[in-house]
Structure 1
Amino acid sequence: MIPSWLIIGAVTFLVAFGSFFITPRDVKWFAQLTRPRWLVFEPLIPLIWTVIFVCGAASAYLVWQKNPGSLFTWLLMSCYLLLEIITVTYIPLMLRFRSLRIGEIIGSVGIILGVLLTLSVFPISRLAALLLVPYLIWSPVGTYTTEELIQLNPEDS
Structure 2
Amino acid sequence: MIKSWMVIGGVVLVVALAINRLATSDIQWFNRLVRPRWLKIEAAIPIIWTVIFICGAWSAVIVWEQAPGTQDTWLRMGFYLLLEIVTMSYTSVMCKLRSLKIGTIIGGTGAILSVLLAISVLQVSQPAALLLLPYILWSPIGTYTTWAMMHLNPADV
Give the corresponding residue for 2:3: 3
Give the corresponding residue for 2:22: 23
CA distance in 2 between counterparts of 1:46 and 1:30 reads 15
Residues 15-34 of structure 1, C-alpha deviation per residue, up to 9 Å, x if partnerless? 123334x2232122111111
- List alignment gaps of at least 5 residues for structure 1: none
The amino acid that maps onto 1:132 is L
After TM superposition, give the deviation of residue 154 of structure 1 in Å: 1.4
The number of equivalent residue pairs is: 156
CA RMSD of aligned residues (A): 1.0
CA distance in 1 between counterparts of 2:11 and 2:124 reads 22
- List alignment gaps of at least 5 residues for structure 2: none
CA distance in 2 between counterparts of 1:31 and 1:85 reads 23
Q: Structure 1: which 4+ aligned runs deviate by more than 3 Å?
A: none
CA distance in 1 between counterparts of 2:116 and 2:73 reads 15
Percent identity between matched residues is 54
Q: Is the 8 A contact 1:24 1:92 kept in 2?
A: no
CA distance in 2 between counterparts of 1:125 and 1:97 reads 38
TM-score by length of 1: 0.96
TM-score by length of 2: 0.96
- What does 1:4-153 correspond to in 2, within 5 Å? 4-20=4-20, 22-26=21-25, 27-153=27-153
